[in-house]
Amino acid sequence: MHVAALRKELDDPLFTRTGAGLAFTPGGLRLASRAVEILGLQQQTAIEVTEAAHGRRLLRIAASSTFAEHTAPGLIELFSSRADDLSVELSVHPTSQFRDLICSRAVDIAIGPASESSIGSDTSLFVRPFLKYQIITVVAPNSPLAVGIPTPSLLRQQQWMFGPPAGSVAGEIATMLRDLAIPESQQRIFQSDAAALEEVMRVGGATLTIGFAVAKDLAAGRLVHVTSPGLDKAGEWCVATLPPAARQPAVSELVRFITTPRCIQAMIRGSGVGVTRFRPKVHVTLWS
């Protein structure tokens, strides 16, 4: 709406011009604080009208890169298979952006590590933890780290291979690397955790990864779990949304579904993603 029309509609000048620029009235400040929410509601309404016209629903999920690679495929495939009219869009973002993405209604749901985000302390959002995991250190069987307890010096001498999560300064992987004092010169970042693991098995080195993601490789002897202080870290993923009264029904459905045993099993084991059913739009950010 045009400013003049808003002033007339609200019976408030909203702002005045001063020598230093613009000065908001109390009513103008209140309107400005709601501007992002209003625009988000406008966008959400447009999406819902389009969905109703075509008989489809769209669920937009923002996820951390680790969750998107290791866990999201099983979740999305199983959840979307429950309704033929549901499409799911997955995008990858730094966890520091989750609150703004949700409050602006750019996404419906954000999923990532509870330890990397302050959303858990934000009373304006609904947050629910749903899956614990373990970050572990793995190496190839012929690695010098595969036998005994490695010294800090030996750890720093190794070539470390990582996926995109290592590029996040505030992330769990980066925090572990700082605590271990691994030199940046010994770190290499690949386009995915899978690519980093493949490089470790091919040429050697070490990596930090989600434990259940490499369970089969550990059981088959293709990788070895290295145990030592600082090489393992427990974590928990959480889902964040707008409060229940402000979110669409599909969001509430997923929030309930994500804690069920069947869903947990699909996220850990994976169910495969059929290209005819799921074609996500994925934006990967290596550094925030």
Q: Is the pLDDT confidence value at 136 over 50?
A: yes
Question: HEC string of 76-103?
Answer: HHHHHCCCCCEEEEEEECCHHHHHHHHH
> pTM for this structure?
0.75
In this structure, what token pair is assigned to residue 103? Answer: 């409050």
User: Helix 249-257 vs helix 72-80: angle between axes, to the nearest 10 degrees?
Assistant: 120
How far is residue 287's CA from residue 173's CA, in Å, rounded to a whole number? 13
Using alpha carbons, list the distances in angstroms from residue 62 to 5, 24, 98, 196, 228.
36, 34, 7, 23, 33
- Going along the chain from its start, the domains and CATH numbers come out as 34-131+237-269 (3.40.190.10), 133-234 (3.40.190.10)
For the stretch 58-92, pLDDT in tens is: 899 999 999 999 999 999 999 988 888 888 999 99
How far is residue 257's CA from residue 115's CA, in Å, rounded to a whole number? 23
Mean pLDDT computed over 174-181:
94
Mean pLDDT computed over 200-222:
95
Q: By the 8 A CB rule, do 141 and 133 touch?
A: no
* pLDDT score for 235: 94
Residue 207 banded pLDDT, cuts 50, 70, 90: very high
Cβ atoms < 10 Å from Cβ of 274: 11
Mean pLDDT computed over 216-232:
95
Number of helical H runs and strand E runs in the chain: 11, 11
